[in-house]
């Protein structure tokens, strides 16, 4: 499996997020997942967003507050959300 995300301090989070998106969007090539957004994927609708949140909650053992769902519109925004120090500390 070829990862599209560059090595960064949050590489582990990025690769886990990439795996989450691959589960939700199995037809999207792996190398495109780190560029995926609600605007670039026709299949990324509100139901897909809820599925992404559910998969992330299970993978990262976190409960995502409903108020935070607006952050779940792109790989980059989700990665930034998951990389917040308060969330990382519990990961």
The pLDDT tens digits for 47-74 are 999 999 999 999 999 999 999 999 999 9
Q: What is the CATH number of the domain that holds 75?
A: 1.10.1200
Global pTM value = 0.84
Judge contact between 73 and 79, C-beta under 8 A.
no
User: Is 60 within a domain?
Assistant: yes
CA distance readout (Å), 77 to 1, 22, 70, 82: 23, 17, 9, 9
- The pLDDT-based confidence of 7 (bands split at 50, 70, 90) is very low
User: Is 27 within a domain?
Assistant: yes
User: Is 13 within a domain?
Assistant: no
Residue 82 phi/psi, 5° resolution? -70, -20
Judge contact between 82 and 56, C-beta under 8 A.
yes
Average the pLDDT over 78-89 and give the result: 82
Instruction: Find all residues with CB under 8 Å of 35, minimum gap 6, and list them.
Output: 4, 75
Please tell me the total count of domains within the chain: 1
Segment 13-44, tens digit of pLDDT: 999 999 999 999 999 999 999 999 999 999 99
């Amino acid at each position: 499996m070829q990862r599209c995300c560059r090595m960064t301090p949050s590489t582990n989070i990025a690769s886990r997020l990439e795996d989450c998106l691959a589960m939700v969007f199995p037809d999207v090539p792996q190398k495109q997942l780190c560029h995926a957004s609600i605007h670039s994927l026709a299949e990324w609708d509100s139901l897909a967003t809820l599925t992404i949140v559910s998969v992330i909650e299970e993978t990262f053992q976190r409960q995502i507050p409903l108020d935070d769902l607006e952050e779940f519109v792109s790989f980059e925004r989700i990665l930034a959300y998951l990389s917040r120090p308060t969330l990382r500390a519990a990961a």
